[in-house]
Amino acid sequence: AKAAGRGVHRFYSADMLAGARDRQQLEGDLRAALPAGEFNLCYQPVVRTVDAVVIGYEALIRWRHPVRGLVSPADFIPVAEECGLIGAIGEWVLRTACNEAARWPRDVRVAVNVSPVQFANPQLPGIVASALARSGLAPDRLELEITEGVFLKGSDSSDRMFAALKGLGVRLALDDFGTGYSSLGYLRTAPFDKIKIDQSFVRGAAQPGNRNAAIIRAIVMLADTLGMETTAEGVEIQDEIELVRSLGCSHIQGYVYGRPAPAAEVAAALGIDGRA
């Protein structure tokens, strides 16, 4: 069970996904996965740069296919978004993450990824409110991670969604910053508490002459000015810790501090009983 959260196999290759029959099979398997209990969440620590204290965990979904083994979310989340399953899967993720995090110490947060498809659903604030109420998790312990993809849709509805979510008292993070449609305009009004700097900027940044460091520095300055925190993602080595610390990132996430691990392991690390 210990290995469950670790290696994720990309069994469905790009070639396979291109084939209509395999794609249909994947959709069918995905439809069955939720009722069959094939999903679970792993949690990766997020550390405060100044003192390396774990201030929270990001919930990351895992699918254990009965035949194919672990399937990467990078492979099945896009399919779930296209075939209308992301709503049910996303709701399960929210409920499960809130329930599990409610047992953690009060100063430990949980971050949950929210697909742009979920974000476009006017029922999302109600779903979040219900997950909080049922679990008893304080709203400010829940952080929703949203990608730039949400800004593709009309900005009027996204403004209303941001206001409704902030009205619940949850925190909002802008995920994978710099990789998407990167218009800076939305930073003017969208009420983010945090910018997550994508791991593609961290990769290689500690090597001399690498331009990624300059980009990270600029993102941190922008975030600081706007009163937002910054998490450097995908930090793998000590040199990268030191670099992003010197560039002023307030938080660090990556294999160097911990890989995604099942809830029971996180509970043990937090010194509590993993069982409810």
Site mask, ligand C2E, residues 245-264, x = CB under 6 A?
Answer: ---------xx----x----
Site mask, ligand C2E, residues 207-236, x = CB under 6 A?
Answer: ---------------------------xxx
As a whole number of angstroms, the distance between CA 123 and CA 22 comes to 32
CA-wise closest residue to 263 among 72, 106, 57 = 57
Q: Residue 141 or residue 196: which is nearer to ligand C2E going by CB?
A: 196
**176 contributes a contact to ligand C2E by CB under 6 A:** yes
Cβ neighbours of residue 117 closer than 8 Å, sequence gap 6 or more: 81, 86, 87
Q: Residue 143 or residue 176: which is nearer to ligand C2E going by CB?
A: 176
CA-wise closest residue to 275 among 100, 91, 86, 25 = 100
**170 contributes a contact to ligand C2E by CB under 6 A:** no
**8 contributes a contact to ligand C2E by CB under 6 A:** yes
As a whole number of angstroms, the distance between CA 16 and CA 19 comes to 5
As a whole number of angstroms, the distance between CA 276 and CA 261 comes to 18
Q: Residue 29 or residue 233: which is nearer to Ca ion going by CB?
A: 233
CB of 268 to Ca ion, least distance (A): 24
For residue 199 the two structure tokens come to: 């791991």
175: alpha, beta or left? (left if phi > 0; alpha if psi -120 to 50) = beta
**93 contributes a contact to ligand C2E by CB under 6 A:** yes
**229 contributes a contact to Ca ion by CB under 5 A:** no
What is the size of the binding site for Ca ion (CB under 5 A)?
A: 5
CB of 107 to Ca ion, least distance (A): 21
Q: Contacting ligand C2E (CB under 6 A), which of 74, 88, 268, 272?
A: 74
Q: What b/e string do you get for 7-40 counting C-beta neighbours within 10 Å, with b at 16 or more?
A: ebeeebeeeeeeeeeebeebbebbeebbeeebbe
Interacting residues with ligand C2E (CB under 6 A): 8, 44, 60-61, 72-74, 77, 90, 93, 113, 115, 175-176, 199, 234-236, 254-255, 260
